[in-house]
Amino acid sequence: MMNSTEDELNPAQGGSLWKGIGLGLLCQFAHFLFVYYLPSFEVRGFGYLLFALVQFVYLIPLALFFQRRGQAFTAHGVIIAGAFSLLAEAAWFGYSAVHGTLPAITSS
């Protein structure tokens, strides 16, 4: 007999947190490649923060998709991946802005 805690942790019932994190990071990697290889596109200054916030345009619908399918842990993993990425990009932007080493992301 399973109690409610075991039901919540069952991957068949609620998805997988690691699956969500992996899918979130994969989407972010694809986003970076798309922006990097987009012809005549350049990100400078506060464009880095915009680049970090745009990820939620595709991560929130992806999380809602998994939430509606009953895979709450997968949805949580997608949001965790987005939050981690946003935090890392903001920290990098802040460090680079303070030290004057903010390069431009340009495509060739």
The residue length of the chain stands at 108
CA distances 7 to 51, 58, 99, Å, are 38, 29, 50
What letter represents residue 5's amino acid? T
Q: Which residues pair with 105 in a beta bridge?
A: 43
**Per-domain boundaries in the chain:** 16-100
pLDDT band, very low/low/confident/very high, at 91 (cuts 50, 70, 90)? confident
pLDDT band, very low/low/confident/very high, at 7 (cuts 50, 70, 90)? very low
| Mean pLDDT score of the chain | 78
